[in-house]
Amino acid sequence: MEDTQAPAGMYNTVSNQMERLNTQQDKYYEDFPGYNNIIKVSPQEWWLPSHFLNFAAGYRNFKVRNDDVFVMSFPKCGSTWMSEVVWNMKANPDVDHTKAQIPDTLRAPFFELDMLNQMAGDLPTSNNSMMEMFQTWCPGKNVADGIILQLTEAIPDPRIIKTHLPFSLLPESLLDTAKVVYMARNPKDVAISFHHHCRISRFARYAGSFEDFIQYFLKGQVLYGPYWTHVQQAWERKHHPNLLILYYEDVKANYMKELHKLNSFLGTNLSEKQMLGIKEFTSFRNMKGRESEGQNNTSYRTVVYDQEAIKKEGGFFRKGEVGTWKENLFPKFTAKMDQWTIDNTNRLGINFKFCEVKKDKINLETGIEDITLTHNVRAR
C-alpha cells in the first residue's frame, strides 16, 4: 500500500496519516467500480473516498451551535428516518409547516454529502433544488468548497444534521455543545440493507456477489467501515448527557415509547397529540410515499442514486423492517456474523441489543442450530 500524507494540521487531534488501498486489488475494484479512490484514515482505518480530504478540515472545524441536533449512525441504521422525526419534533410539532413539503434532505442536510457527490462525479445543476437553496443562502460562495457543508453552516436554527461520520472525524466540541442522537441497528439487517444501497448508488455501483459483500462488510471494507469501531465511539460516550443512543428495533417495536425518550432528551415538551401526529407523518409508509410522489426528485437522491438501478432493485426506502436478514442470510453466514458480533462486543466491552448466544463459540459449519437468537448481546 502507498502511504500519503495529509496537509499538516488538517485534523487537529485526528491523525493525519493516510494509507491508500493497493490498486492491485483488482477484484475489489471490479466489485465496487464506483470506489475508484478509497483511502483508510488512520488510526481507526476508516474506509472513505479520497474526496474526504477536500472537506476533512471543514468537517472537523465546523462551528457547532447550542441548538443543533446531530443524528449520527453507521449507514442503513435509520438515520434518515430519525432525522425526519427530530426535524418535525423541533420545527414542525403540529405537522403543518410549509417547509415539511420540501425534500427532507434540504431540511436536515446530510453533512458529508459533498464528498459523495464528488465521488459519484457529479455536482447539482442550477435546476436542482439543492443548488437553488445554495444560491439563496450562500450568495457569492464557491461550490467547490462544499455545497452542503456551506449550506449547513448558513441555515437558521434549529439545525438537524444527519451524518455517518464517526465522532473522531467531527468537531471535538460536538457533544459538549450540541445534542447527538445515535442510531444503532442489528448488523445483519444493516448488511442486507447496505448491500441493496451499494447496488443502486452511483458512488459504489456494487456488481459483486452477495456472499462477497458480506465478507467485505465483516472486514470493514465498505464506506464508513469498520462497523464496530463506529459503534464503539458512540458506546464509550454513552453516559454523556448530550448523547442518546436509540435502537432501530426499539423504535419499530414501540414508537411512542422511544418518542417520549426523544421528547425528554430534546426538551421539546410535545403533547401526546403532537407526537401521534409526528408518528403518522414520519411512518415508513408515508416517507416512502412522499419519495414515490416525487417530493425528492430534485434532491440529492437523483444525483447519488442510479435511477435505472432503482427501477430494477427498488428505491432508497426499501422495506424498513426488522429481521429481513432471515430471508437473505444462509445459516453459514448467520453463524459467522453472530460470532463476529460476539467477538467484537466482548473485545470492545459493548452491551448491545442484537443476540444472546448460549455457547461461547458458534459452529460455523453447522450454523444457526448452535445459537438462540433473542434481543441482547452481553459482553462477558
pLDDT digits (tens, 9 = 90+) for 357-369: 444 443 444 343 3
| Burial class of residue 48, CB neighbours in 10 A (0-12, 13-18, 19+) | buried
Contact of 340 with 227, CB cutoff 8 Å: no
Residues of the chain with CATH 3.40.50.300: 58-313
pLDDT per residue as tens digits for the range 192-216:
999 988 988 888 889 999 999 999 9
Instruction: Output the pLDDT for position 142.
Output: 93
β-strands 243-247, 179-184 pairing: parallel
Catalytic residue, from 51, 97, 164, 240: name it: 164
Instruction: Output the pLDDT for position 330.
Output: 63
Matching CATH number, 58-313, of 3.40.50.300, 1.20.1560.10, 3.30.70.360, 3.40.50.720: 3.40.50.300
Instruction: Output the pLDDT for position 12.
Output: 34
Query: Mean pLDDT, to the nearest integer, of 250-276?
Result: 96
Tell me the three state secondary structure of residue 268.
Answer: coil
β-strands 69-73, 179-184 pairing: parallel
Please determine, for residue 138, whether its predicted confidence score (pLDDT) is greater than 70: yes
Please determine, for residue 1, whether its predicted confidence score (pLDDT) is greater than 50: no
pTM for the full predicted model:
0.84
- Which band of pLDDT confidence, cut at 50, 70 and 90, is reported for residue 4? very low
The more confidently predicted of residues 15 and 283 is 283
For the chain, give the mean pLDDT. 80
Contact of 137 with 121, CB cutoff 8 Å: no
Would you state the cell numbers that stand for residue 134, as one nine-digit string?
445554495
**Residue 344 to residues 180, 224, 228, 230, 248, Cα–Cα distance (Å):** 24, 17, 7, 12, 20
| 239 is annotated as an active-site residue | no
Query: Mean pLDDT, to the nearest integer, of 273-278?
Result: 96
Alpha helices in the chain (DSSP H): 26-31, 52-60, 79-91, 104-107, 113-120, 129-137, 147-154, 174-177, 187-200, 210-219, 227-235, 248-253, 255-266, 272-281, 284-292, 301-304, 307-313, 325-328, 331-348
